Amino acid sequence: MNKGRIILHIDLNCFYASVEQIYDSSLKGKPVAIAGNPKERRGIIITCSYEARASGVYTTMNVGEARRKCPELIVLPPNFERYRAASKAFFNLLKEYSEILQPVSIDEGYLQLPIVEGQNVLQQVQNMQDRIWNELQLPCSIGIAPNKFLAKMASDMKKPMGITILRKRDVPTVLWPMNVIEMHGVGKSTAEKLRKLGIRTIGELAVADEYVLKQYFGINGLRMKQKANGEDDRPVDPEAIYDTKSVGNSTTLSHDTTDRDELYKIISTLSEKVADRLKAKKLAGVTVSIMIRSADWETCTRSKSINNAIHSKEDIVEHAWYLFNKHWDEEPVRLLGVTVSNVSDIKETTQQLTLFNFEEHIKDEPIIKLVDQIEQKFGKGTILRGSDIAKPVGEYQANTSFSKDFWDEHK
C-alpha cells in the first residue's frame, strides 16, 4: 500500500432497493426494482436488487421490458425521504473513521484514512463494512488503494459485500487485461472511438501514443492514459460536493412524437427549468447541450460553446433549439434533455463586448458608478440586484437524490 495515502471508495450495493427491503422485510430475497413512474411507459428502472439482476433486469431498462424479463418483479416508486435518511446515517458512520470524506452521490463516497503506525488497514475496513451492515442493514463494497481511481476500480470488482485491495504494482496484472469499457470514466462512445484507434484493453491504452490521444480526446485523452497506468493525484476533497459543473433537465415524453411544435414546447419548458435552477444557484454557463433519444433508444448528445455566459430561458432556448434542428434526424423522439455546463458564479462572468451590445453596457455605466459610490460610503453589498436576492430554499432545487443542500444538512 502506498505510504502516502490510504483511500477507500465505499459503494452501497443496490441502495434504493436495499432501503426498501429494510422498511419492508417481506421484500428481502425477492426481485425488487425502483422506477421513476411504475404505472407509465416513461417508468425507467433506477436500481434493482441482485435477485432482479439475475433475471436480466438492469438500470435504465423501461418497466415494461423489465416485467417481461422478470414477471414476478416487484416495482416500487422512489421514496427519497427514506433514501436521504439512510444516506445521512451512512455518511455519519464514515465520518467516525476520518473527516477527509468526499461524497460523490447519495450512496457512494471516498474516504482517506489517517496513517497510524502498526494499523491493520484491512481489519479496519472489515470493521467498517460490518458496522454498515449490522447497524444500518446496508450492504456495501469497498475498494482500498493509494488513489481515487484505483479505489473506485477496486470497489467494482467484488459485489455485493466485497473488499478489494488494488495497489499500483497490481495494475499490469489486474487492470491491463480488462476491456477499456470496464475502466471507470470510459463510456460506450469513448470505448468505440478507442476501438477504432486499435485500443481495446486498458493495457493498450496505457502505452498508447499521447499525441494521438490528445488529437482525438483533448486533455482527457492524456488523463485516460495516466489512469490506465494507475496514476491519479486528485485529492479526497470534502468541499467537492459544492462544485456544480452543469445544470440540466430531461423528460421522457408520454408518447413518441415528430411534431415540431410539440418538441419546441418541450425544449422551452426544459430550458425554463434549467434557467430557474441557474438563477437559484446564481450561476451562468458557456456551453449548451441537447440530448435526443429516439423511439428505438438511439441517443444523440450534441453541444455548443458560446462567448458569453448565459442563464436566461430565452438564451438557453435559442441555443438548444438550434442544436435540436441541426442534429435531429426527424425520427420519433422519446426523450429530450437540455443542459448548461461549464458554469461559474454569475458575478464572475464577463460579457464580451461587440459592436452590437456595447451601447447597452454604456447605458448601464451611470448606474454602475452610482452603486459603486453608495457601496464605498455604506459598505459592500448595500445594494443588491433583484436576481441576487436568494429565493426560498427548495423553490428551484433540482429534483435529484443528492445535492449541495442535502450535504449542508448533513454537515
| R_g (Cα) of the chain, nearest Å | 24
Nearest to 268 by CA among 305, 313, 322, 309: 313
Question: Is 373 found in the same domain as 261?
Answer: yes
Question: Is 381 found in the same domain as 358?
Answer: yes
Asked whether residue 378 is domain-assigned, the answer is yes
pLDDT score at 60: 82
pLDDT score at 385: 52
pLDDT score at 95: 96
C-alpha to C-alpha distance for 360 and 381, rounded to whole angstroms? 24
pLDDT score at 242: 67
Question: Is 380 found in the same domain as 248?
Answer: yes
Question: Is 278 found in the same domain as 204?
Answer: no
C-alpha to C-alpha distance for 85 and 254, rounded to whole angstroms? 32
| Residue 120 in grid coordinates | 491493520
Asked whether residue 408 is domain-assigned, the answer is no
Q: Which domain holds residue 62?
A: 15-80
Given 108, 192, 348, 409, the catalytic residue? 108
Question: Is 153 found in the same domain as 109?
Answer: yes
What CATH number is given to the structural domain containing 361? 3.30.1490.100
Question: Is 367 found in the same domain as 272?
Answer: yes
Question: Is 374 found in the same domain as 316?
Answer: yes
Asked whether residue 24 is domain-assigned, the answer is yes
345 marked ligand binding residue: no
Asked whether residue 274 is domain-assigned, the answer is yes
Question: Is 221 found in the same domain as 147?
Answer: no
pLDDT score at 291: 94
11 marked ligand binding residue: yes
Question: Is 340 found in the same domain as 316?
Answer: yes
Question: Is 370 found in the same domain as 257?
Answer: yes
Number of domains in the chain: 4
Residue that terminates a domain, selected from 54, 80, 106: 80
Residue that terminates a domain, selected from 60, 80, 100: 80
What residue spans of 186-256 are helical by DSSP H? 188-196, 202-206, 210-217, 219-228
Examine the residue annotation and report whether 108 is marked as an active-site residue of this protein: yes
Residue where the block lists cell 470493521: 127
Question: Is 376 found in the same domain as 248?
Answer: yes
Question: Is 263 found in the same domain as 161?
Answer: no
pLDDT score at 368: 47
Show the low-confidence residues of the chain (pLDDT under 70): 1-3, 37-42, 242-244, 347-411
C-alpha to C-alpha distance for 143 and 109, rounded to whole angstroms? 11
Asked whether residue 398 is domain-assigned, the answer is no
